[in-house]
């Protein structure tokens, strides 16, 4: 299977992860013109599952390092399987709440609040479980990002939309999503031998099989989580599976592409964990908050008309976010 060979390549891949995780929300925004997010989310989940299979049967099955995808599946221990599945369930619970927040409050609010909190808490959780990198530099970077999140919250509170303050429901959903999301990566990492992808311990998974089992956890749990939200939506009227199957091919494709984009980021992130460590790999990937905020501010104009004070808060947010991410990258080189 393909394995990352150096820290610099790992950092490059986590930057791609950051771009992927910060950009998939655009597909939801595009679909929202004609498609409820609850329906979009089914296609998104299917896209993640499809990509996990494709990577397993291609990069996960070539080369002479590690175990091949099919071989690895056959030797997984039950604890490994459950760890990856639990990671998928936790991620799905958090991400569906994040999607709801995007539909209510927009990308520039949902991502910095939700994914930003996930970044801060997740780095702490992953570092405690598998310390790697300079802790002082790492946590100073995390602190700067936390301040950036607070500034984004202040900016969103100053915004008006249709004569009302930005929906508090969307903000609360993002906060809950962020807390949940901070824990999913640890379970996926625990399913792998992050100290040796080249010769993983028996019973543990390679990144490709861990990603596949994780995707199965997302898909199965979606029958529970999304069905509940379809019947009892946060906003608007209930939607049905009949409406989902009436969607056009192009509408479904947008959601699948969203899942493919996020899934690409995930597999690159866990591949990078072998060289960068789980805390750094996860933390850099969750720099997606900045990418999503850029989309929300400059493409979707979610803070249009906010005035000078809001613009200054956004400028400071981006500055602190970038500074924090740079420190996280440098922490891995020490």
Taken in order 107, 17, 86, 121, the sign of the CA dihedral is negative
Two structure tokens written together for 24: 């998939």
- DSSP 8-state assignment for residue 240: -
- DSSP 8-state assignment for residue 160: E
> What per-residue confidence (pLDDT) applies to 109?
76
Residue with tokens 């091949």: 68
Q: How far does the chain reach from its first CA to its final CA, in angstroms?
A: 28
Closest CA to 10 of 191, 290, 269, 289: 269
> What per-residue confidence (pLDDT) applies to 114?
87
Q: Provide CB contacts within 8 A for 151, sequence distance 6+.
A: 313, 314, 316, 317, 320
**CB of 266 within 8 A of CB of 16?**
no
Two structure tokens written together for 299: 């493409």
Cα separation, 92 vs 259, in Å, equals: 12
> What's phi and psi for 160, nearest 5 deg?
-120, 145
> What per-residue confidence (pLDDT) applies to 165?
47
Q: Provide CB contacts within 8 A for 65, sequence distance 6+.
A: 1, 2, 3, 197, 198
Cα separation, 13 vs 4, in Å, equals: 9
Mean pLDDT split into 10-residue runs, the chain, 334 residues: 90 93 92 93 98 97 87 96 98 95 83 84 87 89 86 74 59 92 94 88 94 98 97 93 96 97 96 88 82 82 82 90 86 70
**CB of 268 within 8 A of CB of 17?**
yes
Give the burial string for 179-204 (b: 16+ CB within 10 Å, else e): ebbbbbbbbbbbbbbbeebeebeeeb
Q: Where are the domains of the chain?
A: 7-331
**CB of 50 within 8 A of CB of 215?**
no
Taken in order 40, 42, 178, 232, the sign of the CA dihedral is positive
Cα separation, 84 vs 213, in Å, equals: 6
Bridge pairing between strands 164-165 and 160-161: antiparallel
> What per-residue confidence (pLDDT) applies to 69?
95
pTM summary value: 0.88
Closest CA to 24 of 185, 263, 253, 282: 263
Sequence-distant contacts of 219-222: CB under 8 A, at least 24 apart:
219/45, 219/46, 219/48, 219/49, 219/88, 220/85, 220/88, 220/89, 221/88, 221/89, 221/92, 221/93, 222/41, 222/42, 222/45, 222/92, 222/96
- The alpha carbon of residue 292 and the mean position of all alpha carbons in its chain are separated, in whole angstroms, by 11
| Three-state DSSP class for residue 205 | strand
Closest CA to 196 of 187, 185, 205: 205
> What per-residue confidence (pLDDT) applies to 129?
83
């Amino acid at each position: 299977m393909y394995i990352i060979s150096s820290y610099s390549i790992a950092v490059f891949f986590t930057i791609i992860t950051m771009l992927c995780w910060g950009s998939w929300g655009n597909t939801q925004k595009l679909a929202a013109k004609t498609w409820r997010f609850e329906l979009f989310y089914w296609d998104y989940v299917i896209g993640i599952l499809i990509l996990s299979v494709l990577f397993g049967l291609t990069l996960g099955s070539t080369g002479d390092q590690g175990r091949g995808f099919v071989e690895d599946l056959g030797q997984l221990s039950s604890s490994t399987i459950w760890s990856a599945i639990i990671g998928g369930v936790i991620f799905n619970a958090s991400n569906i709440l994040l999607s709801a927040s995007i539909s209510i409050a927009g990308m520039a609010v949902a991502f910095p609040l939700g994914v930003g909190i996930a970044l801060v808490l997740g780095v702490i959780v992953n570092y405690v479980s598998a310390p790697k990198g300079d802790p002082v530099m790492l946590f100073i970077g995390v602190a700067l990002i936390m301040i950036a999140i607070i500034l984004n919250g202040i900016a969103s509170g100053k915004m008006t939309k249709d004569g009302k303050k930005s929906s508090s429901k969307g903000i609360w959903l993002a906060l809950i999503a962020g807390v949940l999301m901070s824990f999913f990566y640890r379970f996926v990492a625990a399913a792998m031998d992050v100290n040796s992808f080249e010769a993983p311990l028996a019973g543990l998974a390679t990144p490709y099989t861990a990603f596949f089992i994780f995707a199965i956890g997302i898909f199965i749990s979606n029958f529970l989580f999304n069905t509940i939200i379809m019947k009892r939506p946060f906003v608007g009227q209930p939607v049905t599976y009949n409406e989902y199957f009436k969607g056009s091919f192009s509408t479904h494709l947008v959601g699948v592409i969203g899942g493919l984009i996020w899934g690409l980021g995930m597999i690159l992130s866990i591949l990078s964990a072998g060289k960068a460590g789980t805390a750094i790999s996860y933390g850099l990937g969750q720099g997606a908050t900045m990418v999503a905020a850029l989309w929300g501010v400059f493409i979707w104009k979610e803070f249009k008309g906010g005035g000078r004070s809001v613009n200054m808060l956004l400028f400071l947010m981006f500055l602190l976010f970038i500074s924090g991410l740079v420190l996280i990258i440098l922490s891995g080189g020490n």
